[in-house]
Amino acid sequence: MFNLTNVLRPYAWGSPTAISTLLGRTPSGGPEAELWLGAHPDSPSLATAPDGSTKSLDALIADDPDGMLGADARTEFGDRLPFLAKILAASQPLSLQVHPTLAQAKDAFAREEAAGIPRAAADRNYKDDNHKPELILALTNFDALCGFRPATQSRAVFKHLSDLFEQVEEAFPQLLRDVISDLSAAEGSEADESAAIRAAFQRLITGGNEVTDAVSAVVTALNASRAAQPTHTAYLRELSTVISLNGIYPGDPGVLLSLLLNRVSLKPGEAIYLPAGNIHAYLQGLGVEVMASSDNVLRGGLTPKHVDVPELMKTVEFRALPVPRITAGSTELGQEIWQPPFREFQLQRAILEPDRPPIPLAQNGPLLVLAVTGSVILDSPRGDLVLAHGDSAFVPARESPVNAHPVSGASGAAVVYAVTVPAPAPN
């Protein structure tokens, strides 16, 4: 087993204290957005062996892929760790974004490589050839935008805006009248609804200065309406989100695009999963995020970074879907396992009570373990490893099975999160 030293990403939207507080560390003094645990070549964890030697986790796996990953994981995913785990701490919204399918990622990555676009270039879309289905488990109250709501619901929100403009005696922008018309074309069939959502989305993301002016007009009207009717509550969350997003990204198309999307609030312990094509944005909160090992992101707004509208339009799935919530299943020993409909990963939480028997961690090949409360002892056939609060480890496939023990005499429960691949698919 290997202790890990993980890379902290200081994106501007990150909380300055949430990750350090969770892991019992001294804050860096700047934004701490994501702590990466894994072997993605952009930011691989540093693995420390029992003898004190160190090597990046991707290099460690490359040296012994069968021992590190196991035969089943190698057969299904090749010679790379199939998942990437993160602690994500957003104090401001992330970009409105979507992730490609595996086929799209492979084709587009090869196309950009052949074109000679540097991987670090600002206008590069695909950093690798993998897809990025993901899951986010809330550790605090967590807010997000996630997937398209039904067109009739979106139309009702924009129609409500029209009524507010009338109440404050302001002219309703023609652009938004056109959006209402686009959404009115959803006549019941799934194809009609998808076409209506696509038309409204495309109008807003390509509207240029007309969108900027419409955002400004909407925020002005909302503020005037609030002043006149401070107890008004219709679509309060959606319209409050418009105002808050505009405060950070004034005039951005994503401000109005948010009204096409499901507005989601998660409580600690609740989770959603995000397949390819699901357009989303995390707004605020702390969570454990797990994904296929990729950094491929197509952005659609709420960002100063590159937005490639044609590529985005090819990647977004323009369908109204329920919020993809996922609940954990419990094992006989009490662990909770979140298993989204992806083959690359599953997430486990184990709560280790003092002076209670050890818990065997679910492990199907490679395993990442992070202690977020208290200290634990990992016990494998090859030895033991103590993880203090905030420590993490990589457990090779060859060291299965692993038991997690509470430290003797501990005053409270320890909590660990563990990521592995699901059991092999049945033949």
Do 401 and 370 share a structural domain? Answer: yes
Indicate whether 407 pLDDT > 90. Answer: no
Do 18 and 104 share a structural domain? Answer: yes
Segment among 54-63, 72-81, 275-284, 354-363 with least mean pLDDT:
354-363
Asked which of 231, 259, 287 is the last residue of a domain, the reply is 259
Question: Is 272 part of any domain?
Answer: yes
Question: Is 94 part of any domain?
Answer: yes
Do 389 and 371 share a structural domain? Answer: yes
What is the CATH number for 381? 2.60.120.10
Share of the chain above pLDDT 70, in %: 98
What CA–CA distances, in Å, run from 363 to 89, 168, 287, 292? 27, 60, 22, 17
Do 226 and 153 share a structural domain? Answer: yes
Do 9 and 141 share a structural domain? Answer: yes
Of 80, 149, 155, 299, the catalytic one is: 299
Indicate whether 1 pLDDT > 90. Answer: yes
Do 252 and 108 share a structural domain? Answer: no
Average pLDDT over residues 295-310: 95
Do 117 and 18 share a structural domain? Answer: yes
Average pLDDT over residues 166-194: 92
Indicate whether 409 pLDDT > 80. Answer: no
Do 416 and 290 share a structural domain? Answer: no
Do 287 and 382 share a structural domain? Answer: no
Q: Identify the bridge partners of residue 285 per DSSP, sorted by sequence position.
A: 90
Question: Is 49 part of any domain?
Answer: no
Average pLDDT over residues 349-377: 94
Question: Is 62 part of any domain?
Answer: no
Do 137 and 243 share a structural domain? Answer: no
Q: What is the pLDDT of residues 228-244, one digit of tens each?
A: 676 566 899 999 999 99
Domain with 400, as residue range(s), is 329-420
pLDDT value for 333: 73
Indicate whether 330 pLDDT > 90. Answer: no
> Running DSSP on this structure, what letter comes out for residue 382?
T
Question: Is 362 part of any domain?
Answer: yes
Q: What is the pLDDT of residues 50-67, one digit of tens each?
A: 999 999 999 999 999 999
Residues 6+ away with beta carbon under 8 Å from 6: 35, 36, 37, 45, 46, 392
pLDDT value for 408: 79
Question: Is 70 part of any domain?
Answer: no
Average pLDDT over residues 282-297: 97
Q: What is the pLDDT of residues 137-162, one digit of tens each?
A: 999 999 999 999 999 999 999 999 99
Asked which of 307, 326, 345 is the last residue of a domain, the reply is 326
> Is 319 assigned a catalytic role?
no
Q: Confirm if 315 and 274 have CB atoms less than 8 A apart.
A: no
Question: Is 53 part of any domain?
Answer: no
Do 381 and 291 share a structural domain? Answer: no
- Nearest CA to 128 out of 151, 96, 106, 160 is that of 106
pLDDT value for 104: 97
Q: Vertex 45, ends 42 and 49: CA angle to 5°?
A: 145
pTM for this entry:
0.95
Q: Confirm if 364 and 72 have CB atoms less than 8 A apart.
A: yes
Calpha distance 205→198 (Å, rounded): 10
Indicate whether 163 pLDDT > 70. Answer: yes
What's the domain count of the chain? Answer: 3
Average pLDDT over residues 313-338: 91
pLDDT value for 248: 96
pLDDT value for 232: 62
Question: Is 425 part of any domain?
Answer: no
- Nearest CA to 420 out of 67, 25, 69, 1 is that of 69
Average pLDDT over residues 313-342: 92
Do 191 and 88 share a structural domain? Answer: no
Asked which of 237, 259, 281 is the last residue of a domain, the reply is 259
Average pLDDT, the chain: 94
Calpha distance 40→196 (Å, rounded): 38
